[in-house]
Amino acid sequence: MGRLSWIKKIRLKSFPSSKRISKIFVEQGAMASSVSFESEGEEEEEEEPKKEHIPDPHPILALGHMYSPSRILLVAVELELFTILAAQGEMTRLEIQDALGLHPGATADFIDALVALGMLQKYKDGQQQQVVKYQNTPETGLFLDKARKQTYVGEALEECSRKHYLAWDDHGNFLKDKSREVEAVRDVIKACSTDAMRKLVKALQFDSSSFQPEEKHLRADAIFELGFGFWKSRLLLTAVEWRLFSHIASSKNEALSVEHVQSLYGIRQEVAKEFLDSLVEVKMLEKRRTKDGLVTHYANTIDGALFLDFLKPTYLGARMEYCSEELYRYWGKLPEALKTGKQQTDLPHKGAEDRYQVLYQDEERTSTYVYTMAYGIGHGMYSSAVRILDFSRFQTVVDIGGSSGQFACYIAQKNPHIQCTSTDLPQVKPIADRMIPDWECEDQVTAIASDCFKDPFPKADCVLLGMILSDWNLERKKLLIQKAYEALPAKGGALYAIDIFVDEERRENFFALVGCLQRFIDMGADAGISFTFSDYKGWCLEAGFVRVECVHILGPVSAGIAYKE
């Protein structure tokens, strides 16, 4: 499938209302399998009452995006960060920036992401509390310091970084390539498995005499698991891109044999088996056997059937298809982005603001982006926000940069008295006009064309900034907050900013940090800076708001609520 060609199929789909989505969640979560297969390796016995299964998309999304944390570690090894830190003992951010030749706009997010991944430690200097210093963890100091030749395992990771990561961008065609030796392809797929990681670590022969007493218990498992994580991610992305989960869901008995998959995708039987078994190992598929026990088939997990079947309105694969066709290869250029501060994508834009103008010049890219935001990210986040946050006291709500109008529609569905406006650039309005009726909200939600920086915000009791602030630099962040303040009434108005705030110590919220690195790859040095809730609170108070609070929404997402009175 060519780059972005899948969006042509998306246009044929009807966009579901949240009522339909909720219904499917309930039905799918409580559904007992009616397939006439048995789980492989299980004896027939009296069935115990089945526990209710609560659908959870997070493991699927985490695996699909595993390429980014994996890539961060690989690049750190390639840049010899751990070796330099071992020689110095400890370093400040500026010292690391100078030693590696990194761009100032990306250094903090890059090294703090490594802290969040458990690959670095950070602490405040005992005498100068405002000075933050970084050092290796015991594991990275032992296994990723080139000076310790007896225990250094970075050579395999360096090879992955330089040779294999980008080669796996075309993973699907790699599996189909019949010019390759079968054993070679099988070996590569097997290398993705957790079992292979364990064997690899076990096979490493370390000279224990080189270990310090406090190092005897240290292992390299976590380093390898993270460094080679892009392989597992790529397996899932390929399966999603191939619509494997939809083919399984629509097949007889909702399960496929190795031979069927081999024929379906034109790959060899041995390769098909390794591919499917690898998906079983990462818990994306289940093995079933026929009643006679002779033939093994592969079926979707309950969550896989719910979230990865293209034909269901709960499909979350749009984001992963976008990752597969675009974002994965851009992360291959992370070293260039870190060093040059230049955008690494195909879009010929000049900075963050120009990016959207260029993006929306192309109808397919516009549709891809809007659909991905709605069905790859938006549903879980905005449905949770509407459930947790109270909008009932408002009569009017405006969503700035509202894209498809999804957030406004979810608010309207729960609050029949509210009139909502969703604003975005002129190229997006026709898409929103088509999607809003599918949520059955055309009487309450209106989409208008507007540039959030050039045009005043529509007046409303509540202004929404849904995942908007993260995109912009400090000056633009403050401008958006100030314009929100001016659009609100003197009494009772509030700004709801739904975003991913970095934790105050910049140690834990990896998703916020990796999101900033993604934008740095995408936009270069003009990309939005990462920020904490304290940063946001300060900007709101500066704009004139009198009270600001933080409410957790879902996963790494929170709402920063600023009150005007």
Q: How far apart are CA 233 and CA 215, in angstroms?
A: 31
Average pLDDT in the 27-49 region? 42
What's the burial of 52, exposed, middle or buried (CB within 10 Å: 0-12/13-18/19+)?
exposed
Strand order in the sheet with 296-300: 38-39, 285-289, 296-300, 255-257
Structure tokens at 360: 């929306």
Q: How far apart are CA 93 and CA 116, in angstroms?
A: 15
Task: Label the pairing between strands 396-400 and 419-424.
Answer: parallel
Handedness of CA 99, 100, 104, 108 (dihedral sign): negative
Q: Strands (DSSP E) along 102-227, which ranges?
A: 120-124, 132-136
Q: Which residue has the tokens 């559904």?
A: 31
Residue 300's beta-bridge partner residues?
Answer: 285
Q: How confident is the model at residue 253 (pLDDT cuts 50, 70, 90)?
A: confident
Q: Which fold has domain 341-563?
A: Rossmann fold (3.40.50)
Of 357-361, 526-530, 551-555, the poorest mean pLDDT is in: 357-361
Angle between helices 67-78 and 510-523 (to 10 degrees): 70
Question: What are the tens digits of pLDDT across the range 43-83?
Answer: 444 555 556 777 777 888 888 889 999 999 999 999 999 99
DSSP category for residue 428: T
Question: What are the tens digits of pLDDT across the range 416-445?
Answer: 999 999 999 989 999 999 989 988 999 999
First to last CA, the chain: 54
Q: How far apart are CA 317 and CA 283, in angstroms?
A: 16
Q: How far apart are CA 237 and CA 319, in angstroms?
A: 10
C-alpha distance from residue 466 to each of 399, 469, 492, 499 (Å):
7, 8, 20, 6
Q: How far apart are CA 113 and CA 506, in angstroms?
A: 8
Q: How far apart are CA 323 and CA 317, in angstroms?
A: 9
Average pLDDT in the 137-165 region? 87
Residue 551's beta-bridge partner residues?
Answer: 559
Number of H helices, E strands in the chain: 30, 14
Q: How confident is the model at residue 383 (pLDDT cuts 50, 70, 90)?
A: confident
Would you say 498 and 533 are in contact if contact means Cβ atoms under 8 Å apart? no
Q: How far apart are CA 455 and CA 350, in angstroms?
A: 21
| Element housing 420 (H / E) | strand 419-424
Instruction: For residue 261, give every residue at least 6 positions away whose Cβ sits within 8 Å of its Cβ, in sequence order, or none.
Output: 244, 267, 272, 275, 276, 298
| Element housing 76 (H / E) | helix 67-78
Q: How far apart are CA 379 and CA 252, in angstroms?
A: 30
Query: Which has the closest alpha carbon to 227: 328, 282, 318, 159?
Result: 159
Question: What are the tens digits of pLDDT across the range 259-302?
Answer: 999 889 888 777 788 889 889 988 999 998 776 666 689 999 99
- Give me the pLDDT at residue 346, please: 72
Q: Kindly list the domain boundaries of the chain, sorted by start residue.
A: 59-67+166-331, 341-563
Query: Which has the closest alpha carbon to 241: 179, 170, 301, 166?
Result: 170
Q: Tell me the chain's radius of gyration from C-alpha atoms.
A: 25
CA dihedral 63, 68, 72, 75 (to 10 degrees): 110
Assigned architecture for domain 59-67+166-331:
Orthogonal Bundle (1.10)
Handedness of CA 101, 105, 106, 107 (dihedral sign): positive
Q: Strands (DSSP E) along 126-207, which ranges?
A: 132-136
CA dihedral 545, 497, 15, 21 (to 10 degrees): -110
- Give me the pLDDT at residue 14, please: 36
Residue type, 435: M
Looking only at Cα atoms, what is the longest distance across the chain? Answer: 75
Of 75-84, 129-138, 157-166, 459-468, the poorest mean pLDDT is in: 157-166
Would you say 442 and 413 are in contact if contact means Cβ atoms under 8 Å apart? no
Q: Give the best-scoring range by mean pLDDT among 272-281, 288-297, 341-350, 520-529.
A: 272-281
Residue 495's beta-bridge partner residues?
Answer: 463, 562
- Give me the pLDDT at residue 228, please: 85
Question: What are the tens digits of pLDDT across the range 213-244?
Answer: 665 567 777 888 888 888 889 889 989 989 99
Q: How far apart are CA 412 and CA 544, in angstroms?
A: 28
- Give me the pLDDT at residue 31, please: 33
Would you say 151 and 141 are in contact if contact means Cβ atoms under 8 Å apart? no
Residue 400's beta-bridge partner residues?
Answer: 423, 465
Structure tokens at 358: 């260029």
Task: Label the pairing between strands 285-289 and 296-300.
Answer: antiparallel
Q: Strands (DSSP E) along 365-488, which ranges?
A: 396-400, 419-424, 445-449, 462-466
CA dihedral 520, 523, 524, 527 (to 10 degrees): -60
Question: What are the tens digits of pLDDT across the range 188-219?
Answer: 555 555 554 454 444 444 555 555 666 556 77
Structure tokens at 71: 């890539």
What does pLDDT average to over the chain? 81
